[in-house]
Structure 1
Amino acid sequence: MAPALLAVGAAGHAGTVAVALHNELLEQDIAITMATSRHGSGPGVILGCSPSTTARSTMPGTTLRHAFHVPAPPPVVFAHLSEPSNYVGLSPLVVAVRDVRREPGETRFVAVERFRFLGFVKYDNLIEVTLRATEEGIEGEVDSPGGVRLGYRFGLAGDGMGTAVEDVLTVHATLGPVLRYAARKARQVQLARADILAGRAPTLT
């Protein structure tokens, strides 16, 4: 988350996709509830604004947290999360990564998220991802069409049997219904990512 990695398809295939998205937003216009899973504990969703930039601070926001265990050493998990190509499949929505630009202090790339509306209408959403290494782990931002902005952080710490991962996502959007839709998708990706990353542990080197 992403790492994560989400967005709302709000452009392209204007007629059919717009109608499908509008209908789904109406159906899903409900509050995000507190959530936990078997991977972690504590509050899963925290409503509120957690600004990372001046622009984001003026937008409604939702912060989602998830803690889980990966049976692999922190340096190995860190190396895996530092490579853009590894995010294909790590988010169930991400089907491709391209245009990787390695710059001093950060890496930028474009991730392709694939959405399906009404079960058969395909929409590929291109999102711009920034990835940075920190002393605590990996962090960055995602800019998506549709007025959706995402900040993410993977905190990594040794726990004696592998790595304790704290996955934190902060989702911002200009419109409330879009925020709720994006937050719901982000939470689904966040929980799925824990299973996928833990499942990759035996192959990480």
Structure 2
Amino acid sequence: MPSTELIHTYRIAAPLPAVFAHLSEPTHYIGLSPLVVTVREVRRSGRTVHYTAVERFRLLGVLRHDNLIDVTLVAVPDRLPEAAEVSGEVRSPGRVRMSYRFALTRDGDGTAVTDTLRLRTPLGLLRFASAQAAAVQRHRASVLAARLETSS
């Protein structure tokens, strides 16, 4: 399967524990991706969470398609308040697979976030999927800043 890696690093003016807590909760991903409209079937086992996210696409601006994706999220707070990690795997219909990792490090009174996505797709889908994923990374950075910088 064709694959690519996308890395986006940014700073959030919020303490690392707040950023970690936000990224560790499945319901907070609603809106972090502009496509995710709901999260359901959340199952927790220690640091691992499994859930279904619903991505909503508009086809031709009129037709609605809900894409159900299986998500695994692992939150590792071992080095709080200096560093932490949230990572996981996304399985989407159509054999699109994505692993993700948020490496969080303390940056003064804020948090440096390195958002890494590894995308694997069937032949012919990589360019489209990677463009969508890169747009989501940029969107996520601004949404996290808006959510956490005003509340810290």
Which structure features the higher share of helix residues?
1
1:161 CA displacement: 3.1
The alignment partner of 1:110 has SS state of strand
1:105 CA displacement: 3.3
Match of 2:61 among 109, 112, 119: 119
Which structure features the higher share of strand residues?
2
Task: State the match for 2:127 in structure 1.
Answer: 180
Match of 1:132 among 40, 57, 74: 74
**How many Å separate the matches in 2 of 1:146 and 1:85?**
24
Indicate whether 1:78 and 2:78 are aligned: no
1:180 CA displacement: 1.3
- Matched-pair contact (CA < 8 Å) for 1:74–1:162: yes
1:189 CA displacement: 0.6
Match of 1:100 among 33, 42, 46: 42
State the AA in 1 paired with 2:49: T
State the AA in 2 paired with 1:127: I
The alignment partner of 2:19 has SS state of helix
Q: Report the TM-score, using the length of structure 2 for normalisation.
A: 0.92
Indicate whether 1:197 and 2:139 are aligned: no
Runs ≥4 in structure 1, deviation > 3 angstroms?
A: 202-205
| Matched length | 146
> 5 Å matches for 1:56-71?
59-71=1-13
- Higher gyration radius (CA): 1
1:203 CA displacement: 5.1
Question: Gaps (5+ residues) in structure 2?
Answer: 79-83
- Matched-pair contact (CA < 8 Å) for 1:80–1:204: no
CA deviations over 1:157-184 (Å, ceiling 9, x no partner): 1110300000000100121x21111111
**How many Å separate the matches in 1 of 2:31 and 2:150?**
15
The alignment partner of 2:125 has SS state of helix
1:104 CA displacement: 2.9
**How many Å separate the matches in 1 of 2:145 and 2:86?**
17
Q: Report the TM-score, using the length of structure 1 for normalisation.
A: 0.69
1:148 CA displacement: 0.1
Task: State the match for 2:104 in structure 1.
Answer: 156
**How many Å separate the matches in 2 of 1:172 and 1:70?**
28
1:202 CA displacement: 3.6
CA deviations over 1:11-42 (Å, ceiling 9, x no partner): xxxxxxxxxxxxxxxxxxxxxxxxxxxxxxxx
1:204 CA displacement: 4.5
**How many Å separate the matches in 2 of 1:202 and 1:168?**
22
Question: Gaps (5+ residues) in structure 1?
Answer: 1-58
- Matched-pair contact (CA < 8 Å) for 2:12–2:149: no
